[in-house]
Amino acid sequence: MKWYIMTDLEGACRVERWVQCDGSELHYERLEARRFITAEANATAAGIIDADPDADIVLWDGHGPGCIDPSLLDPRVSFIPHGWRIPAPFGLTSEFAGAFVLGTHSRAGTPNGCLAHTMAGNVIGYWLNGREIGELAGRMAMAGGLPDGPVPVLLVSGCNFACAEAHELVPEVLTVETKLSLAPERAQHRPPATVHAELRAQAAAAVHARDDIPPFVVPAPYTVRAKLTEGSSLDWYLRHPHTTRIDEQTAEQVTANLYETWI
């Protein structure tokens, strides 16, 4: 069967500061962070293959500047590198039996959420059909809204707050906590070996539980609202179709196509 892994970086074990996540490829802390999330991806792929030896696994690197080190990625995994340069839904189709979302951070405004944000640093809040969401909900909605049929997100890994967000969206989803968020750039990280063992075991369990974990489906039409910090420009949002200015800090888009939203 086909399985889809999407990775972000901010929620990985032993990642807790922006310098580890930004685009400066040569910074040693960033190179190290890429190794951390790649190891988590490999543990997840190993678990999927434990449960489905013929698994066809595709990994999309969903962190803006990229976060997977291809030289260290399990050679049994197909790979779509570097974030946002292809349009949504980023290689995911209804042919996939399930999706795995790794390295997840909490949404903008989460008190003491380590590296908490939604899309950009100047976003105060994001709403989808009236519900406040973060990037995780956006990605789960993307998987659940595919035109040829929904794909369930089976497993989410990330900080404790990100895992709590996952359970709010789909109570049955399996989660692996990588760390306890303590502050915007501080966390208590679990032992990586423990995290990797749990990822492998839970990924295998997720494959077996595939029929018991529902997709996250948000009915069309989609109303997406973004509120930015005072003084931020809304221009990027207003360039999108069906988008209007609500007030100086807020833009809203209403569309029947989830994949043309900002998510």
Residues making contact with Zn ion (CB under 5 A): 8-10, 63
CB 145 within 8 A of CB 218: yes
How far, in Å, CA of 224 to CA of 218, rounded? Answer: 12
Nearest residue (CB) to Zn ion, 115 versus 170: 115
> 44 or 243: whose CB is closer to Zn ion?
44
Nearest to 220 by CA among 194, 235, 248, 242: 242
- CB of 81 vs Zn ion, minimal distance in Å: 14
Of 8 and 198, CB closest to Zn ion: 8
Residues 6 or more apart whose Cβ sits within 8 Å of residue 245? 234, 238, 251
- Cβ proximity to Zn ion: between 63 and 225 the closer is 63
Minimal distance, residue 66 CB to Zn ion, in Å: 10
Q: State in angstroms the smallest separation of the CB of 114 from Zn ion.
A: 12
Shortest spacing between CB 65 and Zn ion, in angstroms: 8
Nearer to Zn ion, 32 or 248 (CB): 32
Collapsing DSSP to helix, strand or coil, 187 comes out as: strand
Q: Measured between alpha carbons, how far apart are the two ends of the chain, in Å? A: 27
CA dist 123 and 232 (Å) reads: 9
What whole-number distance in Å separates Cα of residue 56 and Cα of residue 252?
38
| Smallest distance from Zn ion to CB 159, Å | 13
